[in-house]
Structure 1
């Protein structure tokens, strides 16, 4: 069934604002009782979407003159329109307008305002808006966290973003579905891997999930700095929590350990990870064989070769001979 609302919305989406306005006028004449804000919202949004902030405000003024009470969505549109025009005084005015009309701001209201502040590098104002949101009893969404972190990191303020996440974590308000990947990538890219490690460890201490890509990004950052022990520690924690790394990352850490003369530890961890569901490949075993060979641990290496035979990783005599050469080499 085609209603005035669906017609107004269709004309508004198509950019036919004059037709949408005429349909709205016709609808107002035919409605018994006070009209709803939903009739005006598509038209206000259409003006805002095409960058005509003045037209959006005029439409809102006409709505008020017609004694139609706006809803939260109405004001959110105008906040967004103001932010798009870098008119933050106006955006704040609309926010206050929402409160004066006994409308409850929602996460969208705050996120729109915060995003506008961060886009214009008004970081203190953006963070203050987030804190006001929390004080009013609203929990930040994943989008809120991403907006704040992305804005700060884009301006080279990754450590400030790190402290903000830690603060939110201490308050217990970081959303369950928030993944710190963007922040970890930025910290590792800037050589601040220690801060990234702090974030991931804090998440684990609080019983929060950390994605596999986030973990492997941190491991790679640690390896690039030569922090093999820390990288191995992160991988151990991953596997303990049932987060299985990709084979390339796993093999790289195994190789690093073997080069440090810790082939036995690497092999023990390989056995543990396999029990947790990790599927080692031929390269994994070859790395361990070379490691045992360098340390003169021939018997241990032979046991790994036997496992390779059982798993079908040695398909011909040439591969077997090469492995035995590695095992007998102390280079």
Structure 2
């Protein structure tokens, strides 16, 4: 019920169910509720729930809890809080994984911080023995596009391939879409042909959107 209410955005109803539980919530219950609060931007209340977990000691926050929290902070442009949360995560002997770092890198890229700070985070991730994946680099592509560096984004697509990664439709579509918006149709078509040669195809809805632009 909590998950259902959260998916529908009915946070107040989710709160009533959570607070009215006749049994003690487990980590899955907490994580479900925290995820719903973070999606709604209720970061302060989500923090209170996590603090409740810590004080109770019966059900401590795990890697999913912290990663969800970091993702929420980043998507609501609270990067300082996200970094504090990651530091707390490490202090509590909960090791960040690639999803945790990807959430943070996404936040940096969405705020146009795709140079020193994003590279610092990627280096930190690699030093921890974690390998960046397609999602990591797609976040970087998004950041480059936000900054208007479309040629750099196109070059990064090539770099992904040289690293042995396989850019997906989302990665290609991101750059193609922005090229179309700028009227750089030749470059967009080159990327579209490259994508098709790799066995990837855009949905009809996306093709129609590109044609309109």
Q: TM-score, normalised by structure 2?
A: 0.71
Tell me the SS of whatever aligns to 1:166. helix
The residue number in structure 1 matching 2:136 is: 109
1:59 paired to 2:85: yes
Q: 1:97 to 1:182 in 2, by over 3 A?
A: farther
The residue number in structure 1 matching 2:17 is: none
Deviation of 1:167 (Å): 4.0
Tell me the SS of whatever aligns to 2:175. helix
Q: 1:160 to 1:10 in 2, by over 3 A?
A: closer
Deviation of 1:94 (Å): 2.5
2:199 and 2:171 mapped to 1: Cα distance?
Answer: 10
Aligned length: 184
1:36 paired to 2:62: yes
The residue number in structure 2 matching 1:173 is: 198
5+ residue gaps, structure 2, are 1-22
The residue number in structure 1 matching 2:46 is: 20
User: Contact conserved, 2:111 with 2:143, CA < 8 A, in 1?
Assistant: no
The residue number in structure 1 matching 2:175 is: 148
Q: 1:185 to 1:118 in 2, by over 3 A?
A: same
Q: 1:78 to 1:150 in 2, by over 3 A?
A: same
User: Contact conserved, 1:118 with 1:152, CA < 8 A, in 2?
Assistant: no
Segments of 4+ moved more than 4 angstroms: 176-180
Moved more, 5-14 or 134-143: 5-14
User: Contact conserved, 2:154 with 2:175, CA < 8 A, in 1?
Assistant: yes
Deviation of 1:39 (Å): 1.0
Tell me the SS of whatever aligns to 1:44. helix
Q: 1:105 to 1:178 in 2, by over 3 A?
A: farther
1:7 paired to 2:29: no
- Say which structure, 1 or 2, has more relative contact order (CA 8 Å, 6+ apart): 2
Higher radius of gyration, 1 or 2: 1
Structure 1 residues 191-236: Cα deviation after superposition (integer angstroms, max 9, x where no partner)? xxxxxxxxxxxxxxxxxxxxxxxxxxxxxxxxxxxxxxxxxxxxxx
The residue number in structure 2 matching 1:224 is: none
2:122 and 2:135 mapped to 1: Cα distance?
Answer: 12
Deviation of 1:182 (Å): 5.6
User: Contact conserved, 2:34 with 2:65, CA < 8 A, in 1?
Assistant: yes
Tell me the SS of whatever aligns to 1:104. coil
Deviation of 1:116 (Å): 1.6
5+ residue gaps, structure 1, are 190-331
Q: TM-score, normalised by structure 1?
A: 0.48
